[in-house]
Amino acid sequence: MLEQLIQLDQDLFLVINQGFSNPIFDWLMPILRNRFFWIPLYLFLIIIILKKYNKYGAVILLGYVLTFGIADFFSASIVKPAVARLRPCNDPVFKLSVHSLVPCGSGYSFPSTHAANHFAMGIFLITIFYKKWKWIIPLALGWAISIGFAQIYVGVHYPIDVLAGALIGSIIGYITGIILLKIMPVQLWKTGN
């Protein structure tokens, strides 16, 4: 059963990594997974949250940063060393089939820490702001999904790595978001001030 799942994972990886290959994606996907590309979005979030929620905005941003930190630590420092799955671009046999678009890195593959971090941050934002801004769902999920997809496309993660990272991050983002909602004043979320 495990061998079949690994084979299915590798087959799906090849569909995305090679089957979807085109010049536009070859240019775009490395950019999407680059943390510096998203700095304007992070700055926009900081400005909007601080402007809209004043002193509580700092608490929201602290929760956001803690969510990122927990997801990053749990996926990279606990799960990855325990599973120790090689990246597709580092697997001695499989790497010959990989269309690599970025340096492979020396870390393990399972789970994708990029996916865990971005799903944690996205689900945190959804949990906090959904009642006020329904449009946060497609934006936050589209952001996280695009980064997860890019991880597969550029050749550094298998689809199961990304799915596991998405699940881990989503759980962490939801839990930290719910905790923050419980400690923040209810009136804050009703008025939006």
Which CATH number characterizes residue 167's domain? 1.20.144.10
| Tally of domains in the chain | 1
105-128: average pLDDT: 92
Instruction: Please check whether residue 31 lies inside any domain of the structure.
Output: no
Instruction: Please check whether residue 20 lies inside any domain of the structure.
Output: no
Can you read off the two tokens belonging to residue 39? 């700095």
Instruction: Provide the domain limits for residue 117.
Output: 47-98+105-191
In degrees, rounded to 5, the angle at the alpha carbon of residue 92 between the alpha carbons of residues 166 and 150 is: 30
What's residue 35's pLDDT? 80
Query: Which residue from 40, 24, 47 is spatially nearest to 153, judged by alpha carbons?
Result: 24
The least confident of 33-42, 80-89, 97-106, 182-191 is 182-191
Residues 110 and 81 sit within 8 Å (Cβ to Cβ)? no
Instruction: Please check whether residue 138 lies inside any domain of the structure.
Output: yes
Confidence band for 192, pLDDT divided at 50, 70 and 90: very low
Of the two residues 5 and 173, the one the predictor is more confident about is 173
Residues 100 and 102: their CA atoms lie apart, in Å, by 6
Helices (H), the chain: 2-14, 23-32, 39-73, 80-83, 113-129, 136-153, 159-183, 186-191
Instruction: Please check whether residue 91 lies inside any domain of the structure.
Output: yes
123-134: average pLDDT: 88
pLDDT exceeds cutoff 80 at 193? no
Instruction: Please check whether residue 6 lies inside any domain of the structure.
Output: no
Length of the chain: 193
* pLDDT tens digits for range 76-94: 999 999 998 989 988 888 8
Instruction: Please check whether residue 12 lies inside any domain of the structure.
Output: no
Number of neighbouring beta carbons within 10 Å of residue 66: 16
Instruction: Please check whether residue 183 lies inside any domain of the structure.
Output: yes
Percent of all residues in the chain with a pLDDT value above 70, rounded to a whole number: 95
pLDDT exceeds cutoff 90 at 151? yes
Give pTM, 2 decimals: 0.89
144-168: average pLDDT: 95
Instruction: Please check whether residue 42 lies inside any domain of the structure.
Output: no
